[in-house]
Chains A and B, each alone.
Chain A
Amino acid sequence: MFGVQKKKSPNHIQRADENLFFRGRGIVRFRPLLFLSLSFGLGIFFACLFGLIALVGASVFLLAAAGVLAYRIWKKKFAVGFLLFAALLCLFYALGCLSFSVRIGAFERSPEISGECSVAGTVEEIGESKEYTLLTLGDIWLIDGAGNSFRPNAKLQLYIYGEVPAAEIGSAAMFDAEVQTYDAWAYGRVNANAVIGNTRYRASAAADKVVFSEGEGVGVFTAVRRAMRGVLFANMDEATASVAYGMLTGDSGYMDEDALQNFRYGGIAHIFAVSGLHIGIIYGLLSALCKKCRIRNIVRVPLVFAALCFYAGVCGFSPSSVRALVMCTVAMLAEAGGLQYDRVGSVSCASLTVLVINPVYLFSVGFQLSVAAAAGIVIVGGHLTRLLRKIRFLPQKVCSAVGVAFSAQLATFPILIDCFGYVSGISFFLNLVFVPVIGAVYSVLFCAVALSVLLQFAAPVFLFIPGYLLRLSVMPIVMLEFKVLLICGFSFGSCAVLWYLFLFFLSDKVNLKPAPKISFAAVLCALLIAAMMFQNFNIGMESVMTLHAYYGSNIGLIRSSDGDYLIVYGEADGRHIEQVFLKEGITELRGAIFLTAPREANTGIPVILQYAELQTVYVPADSQLIDSFRTVEIRYESGVFVFGDAYAQFFSDELLYLNIRGAGIVCDGGADEVPALPECDLLIANTENDAVRKACSPRAEVYFEKTAEKMSVYRAGDLQIGWKNDIISVKDAG
């Protein structure tokens, strides 16, 4: 008890693989940092799902710990250490819960403001891109249309369109504009960027409508970015300079959107997120330089750390750069201190550091991808590399490169599918071939740009070769079309947990014998397949309609027996439409209806045609829409007509009645004049409209935009409406 061990007989020989299921001491090696960071992350996650009541979940830890403790006492193993660690796990879990709840509470403490306001604020950050200048204003003062004055403890993002006189940090900006409020939860996910930056409000204004006072000058990081941008665009062509600037700072705002999208389709857009690749290269260069100059560790470590910190600051302290910075620092300290460097511990420490700084990072796609890729390489990559090395004809470097690239792909797969709707089928090949090349070019480019910023008169000389190399290396990416090689049409949702469990199980971090390992892996695989089928196929539903929205781009999809049909309620946004079509696997639409004015329908049809074939657009008989599309039939309908498995009738340009399996649905795209309508079971509309509601007396309502106390896509994310056994079910589609 408490550390007293059973006496062994003198003739007893302990075999290392005595256990039926595993070899050695246990199934999984004890990794304290990993467990602590997991418990902190779990606390954050459950606080998001359940609120402060999630603190009760700590009792689950305690119950489990009590059970294990009893077992260890029974087996006469050391228990005090285990007890202490269990308490520590509970503490970290509780800390994660509390920190998340406090951050969200602080964000939501600032009042909701909307409408035309007079705004004054101090410029704290400046972001520049080709299309607009983005200012982050702090210390803001708003006066709304009713004369109410607000001084919230939050920031406002101001998008300025047009030529902006050089705004400076510390200057005051004054303007009148329509102000919108960001919520902590919108469209089915945490609004991570807004909460992390405490950016509660947003507004847009033309450049000539904003008045600036004198400021203190730009901050040092902004000054460095401006200097880098200056030397690059002065000494390279615009396309190459924008790629170089994106790679060096993580800011791809100056790149051509089509070129950037091709990088995304190729699965290599991560070169524009400053992370392990970039920080690792700079760390290697600086370490080599310090070793060459024989600088001692006591000077080298803080010097390199300061340089990496500064670089992360130039890149805006993005979560990927902070994660990479922490991992490099841990490696550096371990090397300097003569300690063994544990990569799993390092990734865990880096993730925990970022989450402690701001727990909302857990919901940031950039953080998720960064940690998943690093964890995948560390947990699966090594094992995969060792397996590949058993193939005799494969060189070791190739095995290592394949192992790293493939493990990163596997680990980021569910996140990419769920967030962007697709994964590039050629991504593995491009990451294997292209990324090492771009890494080499980056190292040369970084040195050249650093020297160019310091010695601007010699910039043309320094940047000539790197510019040429960069242009050559990105040429295949820019010229080739990668959109044809996309894996899409499904989503993981909560099945991602099973995917990661499966990967972890197959890695060498789980110390099981082959037979039990294969058995459990087969069970996990079967569970994953079953769960994915349940997630992605509408099993049991007689009819299904899905609703999708993103800041005004509101659409409904009806999956019929003869194909897919689309109803557009608002202004179709190309990026949103593309993401939905990729996620839902839609390449062809049998029919579409635009519940908008004819002018919006006229501009919306080409947007849809960019991403799917469209056979027929249905419009009211008296519609002003002109039939000018060669590949699309415009059908003018009066009375009831067939729309897939449904029946439909127009009541105006913006009002449509649907009958789906006997249920009446009124679809409102924002009607100003409301004629007499039939009673309906369900009303689907952009926003609340009392006139429409009175006219059709719906038994239930679903809205796209923010609506108090009603079902909305804004709150719950994409919705699935299903029909079965004379019941309409409305639930989250995710």
Chain B
Amino acid sequence: MKALFGKIALFGALLLAAAAVSLLPSLAPPKAGATRETTDAGLPYDASYNVLIRGDEVGSPGVYRVPYGCTYGQLFALASVEPPAGYDLSAPVSFADAVLVGGEYYIYFVL
């Protein structure tokens, strides 16, 4: 019984020492909030752009707001124009032809 109490006392002293070593040196109020910072944000956006299409052969000339990925075929159908040669109708409209006008990009088609 004596040996058991001795072991308990020794263990208790070690525990107190561990608590003192881990808590006392800093003597400061603990940081309440999390230390780790993370980021997880979602931002919906308007994936459409302006296309200005005009010309003698264009049935409905004007500025169209088309979704990203709109094909040449869809665009020409929208503007009621016979697809001119040299365009892959299934390919998406290329943004490489865009021009910045008044803070917005426009893709010009003059047919």
Contact = CB atoms under 8 A, between A and B. Distances in A.
A109 B28 contact: yes
Nearest to B48: A662
A18 interface: no
B37 interface: yes
A727 interface: yes
B76 to A, nearest CB: 20
A423 B15 CA distance: 39
A47 B104 CA distance: 48
A642 B31 CA distance: 49
A663 B45 contact: yes
Quick one: which of A102, A357, A728, A729 has the most chain B CB within 10 A? A102
Given A51-B32, A102-B30, A726-B47, A356 B39 contact: no
Contacts of B95: 640, 647, 659
A659 B107 CA distance: 13
Contacts of B96: 640-642, 647
Interface stretch (B17-25, B52-60, B82-90): B17-25
A728 B42 contact: yes
* Interface bin, chain B: 35 or more
A663 B31 CA distance: 40
Contacts of B39: 711, 715-716, 719, 730-732
A48 B36 CA distance: 6
B26 to A, nearest CB: 3
Contacts of A662: 45-49, 67-69
Contacts, number: 143
A190 B34 CA distance: 11
B45 A726 contact: yes
A417 interface: no
Interface stretch (A140-148, A238-246, A474-482, A678-686): A678-686
A727 B44 CA distance: 4
Contacts of A729: 40-43
Contacts of B38: 716, 731-732
A109 B28 CA distance: 8
A661 interface: yes
A340 B15 CA distance: 23
A659 B19 CA distance: 56
Nearest to A641: B96
A52 interface: yes
A99 B26 CA distance: 9
Interface string A648-661: 01000000000101
B27 A106 contact: yes
A678 B38 CA distance: 30
A-B interface, 9 closest residue pairs, ranked by CB to CB distance from nearest: A662-B47, A662-B68, A101-B30, A106-B26, A106-B28, A99-B22, A716-B39, A105-B31, A647-B95
9 contacts: A91-B15, A102-B31, A647-B96, A663-B45, A678-B105, A716-B39, A726-B47, A730-B41, A730-B42
Interface of A: 47-52, 91, 95, 98-106, 108-109, 184-185, 190, 355-357, 359, 639-642, 647, 649, 659, 661-663, 676-679, 681-682, 699-700, 711, 715-716, 719, 726-732
Given A52-B31, A355-B22, A681-B45, 6 more contacts: A47-B35, A49-B36, A51-B31, A647-B98, A728-B45, A730-B41
